Structure 1
Amino acid sequence: MEEVGETARLINYLHETKKKKPIEAEQNLPTELTDMMFAIICLANVHNIDLQTTFEDMMAKYNQRDGDRFFPNS
């Protein structure tokens, strides 16, 4: 799961909370996020997890809990 660490470092660099070391290779966020998605899909497959159903269940939970959270009160 080194992809998570790589993405975290890149986000730190992008938000300037940490400085990049001169020896570190250039990275971009879309590629790092896609690497993480691939790793998650592989891990789910190994453990026979249905990501589609799990994602839909998670989104239903967040929609119910946070459905109006980001809208101003009328």
Structure 2
Amino acid sequence: MPASEKPIYHTHEIQQRVDRYIGQFKEGYFSPLSLMARLTEETGELAREVNHYYGEKPKKTSEQPKTMEEELGDIIFVLACFANSLDIDMGEAFDTAIRKIEKRDGDRWTKKD
């Protein structure tokens, strides 16, 4: 799909789309503990891809190709499930986090001219 045709999602749209998907199933959202385990699993898969591309461990010829974009997407999906299951607005959570980071680390790094 060309970049101009790719959808752009805002956090509330991501959460709504995930909720519509999960809402189809009687099981609903997994428990927070299960979601944490799933998030850890997906983060490990991203770490594996990073290691294949930037580390010293090349991918086996028998391994299916995956992309970091795909793995990041999986993490976003699980994060949205986690947030929805706990009734947390990801946009508000991000706003709180970025404000904290901007305040704490605003003068920590060398600024560009």
Where on the TM-score scale, by shorter chain, does this alignment land: which range?
0.7 to 0.9
Residue 35 of structure 1: which of 70, 74, 93 is its match?
A: 74
**1:2-21 alignment, distance < 5 Å:** 2-21=41-60
Q: RCO greater where, 1 or 2, for CA within 8 Å and sep 6 or more? A: 2
- Cα deviation, residue 29, structure 1: 1.1
Rounded to whole Å, the distance in 1 between the matches of 2:102 and 2:87 is 26
The answer to whether residue 110 in structure 2 is matched with residue 71 in structure 1 is yes
Structure 2's unaligned 5+ residue stretches are: 1-37
Q: Which portions of structure 1, spanning 4 or more consecutive aligned residues, are displaced by more than 3 angstroms?
A: none
Rounded to whole Å, the distance in 2 between the matches of 1:56 and 1:35 is 22
- TM-score in terms of structure 2 length: 0.57
Structure 1's unaligned 5+ residue stretches are: none
Structure 2 counterpart of 1:23: 62
Percent identity, aligned pairs only, is: 38
- TM-score in terms of structure 1 length: 0.82
How many aligned residue pairs are there? 74
**Bigger mean CA offset, 16-25 vs 1-10:** 16-25
- Cα deviation, residue 9, structure 1: 0.4
Q: What do you get for the CA RMSD once the two structures are aligned?
A: 2.0
Deviation by residue 1:6-52 (Cα, 9 ceiling, x = unmatched): 11100111112323233221011112111111111011101212211
